[in-house]
Amino acid sequence: MSRMRVEKTKAFDVEIDTIASDKSISHRCAIFSLLSDKPSVIENYLQAEDTLNTLHIISLLGAEVEKEGERITITPPKAIKEPAQILDCGNSGTAMRLLMGFLSAKEGFFVLHGDRYLANRPMRRVADPLRKIGAKIDGRVKGNLSPIAIRGSKLEGFEYQSPIASAQVKSAMILAALHAKEMSHFSEPFLSRDHSERMLVGMGAEIISKEDAITIMPLLAPLQPLQIRVPCDPSSGFFFAVAAAIVPESRVVLQDVSLNPTRIEAYKVLQKMGAHIDFISKEEKYEPIGDIVVQYGSLKGIEVSENIAWLIDELPALSIAMAVAKGRSVVKNASELRVKESDRISSVVENLQKCGIEAVESEDGYEIVGGRLKEGVTVESFGDHRVAMSFAIAGLLSGIEIDDTACIDTSFPNFIELLSRMTKVEHGD
Ligand code: S3P
C-alpha cells in the first residue's frame, strides 16, 4: 500500500521524450511475435508490470525472449508449449482477452489468471463468441470470470457482429480467425483502436478492413516477424497534456507519440475545451508517429458522447480538465468505464466530490460542474493506475494525497519521475 503526495505548482515548460511506450502495441508485439517462425525485434517495449507479465507468459509458451538494452528479440517456439504453470496476466484485460483468442486454437491446456481487479472483469464478451466457433473455454461464474481454463481446439470461420466497440474483443476474434478453418467476418458498432489490424497486415496477414467491418483470411503460413519501435503511449502522455492545459502559462511537448486517429480523440476534446494543441507528424511505421504540443488555455465545459471508444482510457484524466473548466461537462455513452481496472464512473465521481467538485454519476457517464479544487484532500486510487495518475495531476493545482499508488507501475513506472519535473512529489509506504 503505497501513497503519494503532490504539491501545488507554478507554470512549467517541459519537453518529455520518455513517456511510457504504448501499452496496447507492446502487448500485441509480444503475442503477435508467436505468429511468425522468425525472431521479431522490438525496440522501446513497455517495461511496466502489465507488459512484462505478457513477456513472461510468452516465454512460458516456449518463446525465447532476449533483452539487450532497450531492444528485445523474441524467438518464437516451433509449436506452442503447454505450460505447467498458470499464466498470470496481472492487471491486464488486454493480455487476458487477446490470449484467450490466441490460445483457443492452440493444442494444449492453458489457465489464465490475474490480480483481484482483473479477476472481477467480464471475460464472456470474448469467451461467448469464441465458444460459438468451437473454443473450449470455462471459468468462474458461468465462464465469465478468471481463472479462465482453455483446452485448445479446431475453430470454425465466423461472421460475428460485436455488440460493443472493443479492440480487445476484436483482437481476440482476429487471433482466433487467423487459426480458423474458413474465412471470417467481424464487425463492431464503431471502429475501435486498430493496432491489431495495422500490425498484422504489416506482418503479411490477409485482413481487409472497411471502417467498422473486417474480413480475416486464415493463415496459410507463418507471418513475417515484427521489426518495430514502439511509439510512446498517447493515453500516458495525456496526463501531462491535462497538466499543461490546467496550470496557467504552462506548456508540454510530448515526443514520439502514436498519432493513430483511434487514439488521440481526447486531445481533440481538450482542444475544443480551449487548450492550445498542435500535432506534429514525424513518421509512419505501422502507425503514424509524432509530437504533441499542449499549452494552457482557459477551459470551458463540454459534452462528450461520441467516439467514446477512441478516448475511453483518457476519460479519467479528462475529468480533471472538466473539474476546473468553466461550466458544465457531460460524459455519456461510456458505460464501458464501469468494467475497466476499477468502475471508473464511481471512482472518478467519488474522488471529484472529495475534491469539492459537483459531480454526479449516471448509468453511462457523469456530469461535472467546473469549480475550484479543494486544497490538501486525500483520495483513493481504487487500485486503478489511471485514477491514481489523473488525481496526481489535479494535485498540481490544489496539492493532493493519493492512497494505494503502486498500481501506477502497471503502465507508467516513470510517471512520478516525470511529474517531479513539474512539482515536488513525495511517495512511499
Ligand atoms: C485496449 C482496448 C481498450 C482499452 C484498453 C486497451 C487494447 O479496451 O480501454 O486499455 O489494447 O486493445 P476495450 O477493448 O475493452 O475497449
Please identify which of the residues 194, 313, 404, 409 carries the catalytic annotation: 313
Could you tell me if 289 and 355 lie in one domain? yes
Find all residues with CB under 8 Å of 417, minimum gap 6, and list them.
Answer: none
Could you tell me if 241 and 373 lie in one domain? yes
Could you tell me if 66 and 80 lie in one domain? yes
311 near 270, Cβ under 8 Å?
A: no
163 near 189, Cβ under 8 Å?
A: yes
Identify the pLDDT of residue 340: 98
Profile the chain (429 residues) by mean pLDDT over runs of 10 residues: 94 98 98 98 98 98 94 98 98 98 98 98 98 98 98 98 98 98 97 97 97 94 98 98 98 98 98 98 95 98 98 98 98 98 98 98 98 97 98 98 98 98 95
Structure-block grid coordinates of residue 26: 507492446
CATH of the domain at 167: 3.65.10.10
Identify the pLDDT of residue 23: 98
Ligand 1-lining residues (CB < 6 angstroms): 24, 94, 166-168, 171, 192-193, 309, 312-313, 336
Which residue's CA is the nearest one to ligand 1's atom 10?
Answer: 313
* Host H or E run for residue 289: strand 287-295
Identify the pLDDT of residue 70: 82
Q: Is 378 helix (H, G, I), strand (E, B) or coil?
A: strand
Identify the pLDDT of residue 409: 97
Best residue among 166, 173, 387, 410 to mutate for probing ligand 1, ranked by most atoms within 8 Å of CB: 166
**Spatial separation of the C-alpha atoms in residues 94 and 375, rounded to whole Å:** 36
Identify the pLDDT of residue 152: 98
Cα 143 to ligand 1 centre (Å):
21
What burial letters (b/e) apply to 181-199, b meaning 16+ CB within 10 Å? eeebbbbbeebbbbbbbbb
Burial class of residue 114 (count of CB atoms within 10 Å of its CB; 0-12, 13-18, 19+): buried
Could you tell me if 108 and 237 lie in one domain? no
Confidence (pTM) = 0.98
Could you tell me if 172 and 252 lie in one domain? no
Cα 194 to ligand 1 centre (Å):
10
Could you tell me if 148 and 240 lie in one domain? no
Cα 203 to ligand 1 centre (Å):
22
Q: Domain limits at 275?
A: 3-21+231-428
- ω into 39 cis (within 30 of 0): no
Which residue's CA is the nearest one to ligand 1's atom 16?
Answer: 166
Q: Which of 213, 229, 245 is the last residue of a domain?
A: 229
Identify the pLDDT of residue 402: 98
Could you tell me if 401 and 312 lie in one domain? yes
Could you tell me if 10 and 38 lie in one domain? no
Could you tell me if 218 and 264 lie in one domain? no
Which residue's CA is the nearest one to ligand 1's atom 9?
Answer: 313
Q: Which atom of ligand 1 is nearest to the CA of 98?
A: 12
Could you tell me if 140 and 255 lie in one domain? no
Instruction: Find the Cα–Cα–Cα–Cα dihedral 108, 223, 182, 60, rounded to 10°.
Output: 10
313 catalytic per annotation: yes
Identify the pLDDT of residue 69: 85
Q: Which of 229, 264, 279 is the last residue of a domain?
A: 229
Could you tell me if 12 and 61 lie in one domain? no
Total number of domains in the chain: 2
Burial class of residue 429 (count of CB atoms within 10 Å of its CB; 0-12, 13-18, 19+): exposed
Which residue's CA is the nearest one to ligand 1's atom 13?
Answer: 166
Cα 166 to ligand 1 centre (Å):
6
Burial class of residue 77 (count of CB atoms within 10 Å of its CB; 0-12, 13-18, 19+): middle
264 near 297, Cβ under 8 Å?
A: no
